[in-house]
């Protein structure tokens, strides 16, 4: 009985068909081989299979052939190249084991491979390693190719975000959707909740990408945090961790993105405030990080008690137990804690009195505020004007947008009417207006930066007369603005000396005119000191 040569053919989809490896060629060569061997032949054609998942589950024909081998019906197998059987080491090992066990002769165009021969085994092993390596290389090349395409502005794959469509692998603006992208941002900026935005979208018949007229709150929230509308997106390569910033057409103007950002911050801030109210209110300690122990040099810490008297205590006491036996351990001889209310009151009164009567301080304020008054009022007038202008332009954009939306809707309803030209003109006008708004807004923010400190100083001067109206936090800022440090000396069991060191010689300065008889010749400020001492009992309740 004539033996049969079982010809197994397969091509891989990911490899371009190399010369001489097409299914037909593989079969023809196999048939030639069978004639040479004087055998009948039977073709087992796997066809075209992906090599990415290279195991038997993906090779139904090969599995069938191996079954025949195990059943003892196949003694001669022909493959064009051993990698037709498998490029995967484990799979190839399994196949080889089955072939060897069943004493199958494996034929290739170059002759028979004796599978059990150690040298052939080694060679086959190496060849298989090479195909494995080849596969890895191909995967890597594919990954690098994709990264390069992304770097060149290509889309990463998958559906494009709402507001865009794909054109030759790149994101381009989808006008019908982008109108709504802008709208959603504007609504959010103007204080609408995602739920209200959802209602608006529904009322306007805006469909999601999947054709759903009901938007989920999650999709609205995630749309609002999409960076694409700001003209870029980030891609992180899972393997290398490399992050690529890719530019794409901007849908929302920068000032709108900024508006949304501010609105978001405001909302989280509000939430944060609520949270803070329920927790223990944070007391701004008037002299924390300012008041030091004259004995050991550590800062004093405040400790607010709800039911007991609150104290400031030397830092050595806080860390006493934690640091004991370490280098950080500080031995301090102070015995008494300072009453918090008394200490803060005394410091505040002293600072107020020194600053309130300091010519130097007044002079500083005068130079900084009054000297700039002209500039200030001018820029103020200017910014007010710009703000009005922006508001007017924004209303215009709003109107244009509404018209566009209405016209677009009409257009959908009556396809016969060609309103495209009108809409196009309106879009141009809107863009033009938005660019103008953008210019004005950036001009305005520059101006506002410029004005901020002038504003602050002006307000500050007004408040100098009403210092006691300041909130605890403002008092803390004020003290920090003029005092460099406060040193506490424990004199005895009763009395402490507070040494208040000011940043500038505000203490006891005086104003001397160059000529008392002719004040217009100017004056000088003289004789100030930086330090003010105050000795008192800080253990008692303060009475002035």
User: Rule CB under 5 A: which residues touch Zn ion?
Assistant: 293, 295-296, 314, 316, 332, 334
Select from 383, 388, 390, 387 the least CA-distant residue to 436: 390
The minimum distance between CB 256 and Zn ion, in angstroms, equals 55
What is the spatial distance between Cα 502 and Cα 87, in angstroms, rounded to a whole number? 80
Enumerate the β-bridge partners of residue 525: 511
User: Is 187 or 300 the residue whose CB approaches Zn ion more closely?
Assistant: 300
The minimum distance between CB 336 and Zn ion, in angstroms, equals 11
User: Is 147 or 314 the residue whose CB approaches Zn ion more closely?
Assistant: 314
Question: Tokens 């709800």 label which residue?
Answer: 306
Measured over the CA atoms of residue 30, residue 32, residue 36 and residue 42, the dihedral's sign is: positive
CB 495, CB 537: distance < 8 Å: yes
User: Is 299 or 504 the residue whose CB approaches Zn ion more closely?
Assistant: 299
The minimum distance between CB 484 and Zn ion, in angstroms, equals 19
67, HSE (Cβ side, Cα atoms, 13 Å): 8
Select from 270, 343, 356, 258 the least CA-distant residue to 300: 343
User: Is 206 or 347 the residue whose CB approaches Zn ion more closely?
Assistant: 347
User: Is 131 or 295 the residue whose CB approaches Zn ion more closely?
Assistant: 295
User: Is 333 or 508 the residue whose CB approaches Zn ion more closely?
Assistant: 333
The minimum distance between CB 328 and Zn ion, in angstroms, equals 14
User: Is 24 or 321 the residue whose CB approaches Zn ion more closely?
Assistant: 321
What is the spatial distance between Cα 352 and Cα 320, in angstroms, rounded to a whole number? 35
The minimum distance between CB 332 and Zn ion, in angstroms, equals 3
Edge-first strand listing for the sheet containing 291-293: 291-293, 483-490, 496-502, 531-536
User: Is 295 or 343 the residue whose CB approaches Zn ion more closely?
Assistant: 295
Angle (deg, nearest 10), helices 420-464 and 373-413: 150
What is the spatial distance between Cα 189 and Cα 261, in angstroms, rounded to a whole number? 8
Residue 502 — φ and ψ, nearest 5°? -90, 155
What is the spatial distance between Cα 162 and Cα 183, in angstroms, rounded to a whole number? 13
The minimum distance between CB 295 and Zn ion, in angstroms, equals 4
Helix (H) or strand (E) holding 181: helix 175-189
**Token duo for residue 31:** 């048939």
What is the spatial distance between Cα 232 and Cα 223, in angstroms, rounded to a whole number? 14
Residue 192 — φ and ψ, nearest 5°? -70, 145
Select from 298, 279, 280, 278 the least CA-distant residue to 290: 298
Pairing of strands 105-108, 76-79: parallel
The minimum distance between CB 322 and Zn ion, in angstroms, equals 16
User: Is 78 or 301 the residue whose CB approaches Zn ion more closely?
Assistant: 301
What is the spatial distance between Cα 209 and Cα 158, in angstroms, rounded to a whole number? 13
The minimum distance between CB 530 and Zn ion, in angstroms, equals 23
The minimum distance between CB 494 and Zn ion, in angstroms, equals 18
User: Is 334 or 337 the residue whose CB approaches Zn ion more closely?
Assistant: 334
The minimum distance between CB 301 and Zn ion, in angstroms, equals 11
């Amino acid at each position: 009985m004539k033996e049969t040569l079982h010809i197994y053919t397969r091509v891989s989809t990911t490899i371009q068909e190399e010369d001489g490896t097409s299914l037909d060629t593989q079969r023809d060569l196999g048939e030639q081989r069978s004639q040479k061997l004087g055998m009948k032949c039977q073709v087992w054609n796997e066809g075209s299979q992906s090599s990415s998942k290279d195991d038997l589950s993906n090779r139904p024909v090969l599995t069938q052939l191996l079954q025949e081998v195990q059943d003892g019906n196949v003694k001669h197998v022909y493959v064009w190249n051993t990698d037709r059987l498998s490029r995967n080491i484990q799979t190839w090992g399994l196949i080889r084991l089955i072939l060897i066990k069943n004493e199958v002769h494996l034929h290739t165009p170059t002759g028979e491979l004796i599978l059990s021969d150690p040298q052939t085994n080694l060679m086959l092993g190496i060849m298989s390693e090479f195909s494995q390596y080849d596969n890895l290389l191909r995967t890597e090349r594919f990954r690098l190719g994709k990264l390069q395409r992304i770097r060149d502005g290509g889309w990463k794959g998958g559906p494009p975000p709402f507001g865009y469509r794909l054109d030759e692998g790149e994101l381009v603006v989808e006008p019908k959707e982008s109108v709504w992208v802008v709208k959603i941002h504007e609504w959010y900026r103007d204080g609408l909740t995602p739920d209200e935005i959802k209602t608006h979208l529904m009322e306007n018949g805006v469909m999601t990408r999947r054709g759903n007229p009901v938007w989920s709150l999650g999709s609205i929230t995630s749309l609002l945090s999409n960076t694409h509308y700001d003209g870029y997106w980030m891609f992180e390569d899972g393997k290398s961790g490399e992050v690529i910033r890719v530019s794409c057409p901007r849908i929302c103007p920068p000032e709108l993105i900024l508006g949304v950002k501010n609105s978001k911050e405001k909302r989280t801030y509000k939430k944060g405030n609520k949270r803070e109210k329920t927790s223990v209110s944070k007391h701004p300690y008037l002299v924390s990080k300012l008041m030091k122990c004259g004995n050991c040099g550590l800062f004093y810490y405040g400790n607010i008690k709800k039911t007991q008297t609150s104290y400031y205590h030397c830092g050595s006491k806080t860390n006493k137990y934690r640091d004991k036996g370490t280098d950080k351990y500080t031995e301090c001889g102070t015995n008494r804690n300072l009453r918090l209310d008394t200490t803060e009151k005394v410091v505040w009164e002293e600072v107020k009195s020194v600053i309130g009567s300091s010519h130097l301080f007044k002079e500083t304020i005068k130079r900084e505020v009054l000297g700039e008054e002209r500039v200030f009022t001018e820029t103020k007038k200017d910014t007010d004007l710009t703000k009005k202008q922006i508001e007017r332009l924004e209303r215009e954009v709003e109107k244009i947008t509404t018209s566009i939306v209405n016209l677009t809707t009409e257009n959908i309803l009556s396809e016969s009417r060609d309103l495209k030209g009108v809409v196009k003109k309106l879009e141009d006008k809107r863009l033009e207006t938005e660019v103008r708004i953008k210019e004005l807004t950036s001009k305005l923010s520059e101006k506002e930066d410029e004005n901020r400190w002038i504003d602050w100083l002006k307000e500050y001067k007004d408040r100098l007369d009403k210092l006691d109206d300041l909130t605890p936090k403002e008092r803390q800022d004020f003290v920090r603005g003029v005092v460099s440090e406060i040193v506490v000396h424990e004199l005895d069991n009763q009395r402490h000396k507070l040494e208040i060191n000011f940043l500038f010689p505000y203490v006891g300065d005086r104003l001397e005119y160059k000529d008392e008889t002719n004040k217009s010749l100017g004056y000088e400020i003289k004789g100030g000191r930086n330090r003010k001492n105050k000795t008192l009992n800080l253990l008692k309740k303060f009475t002035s």
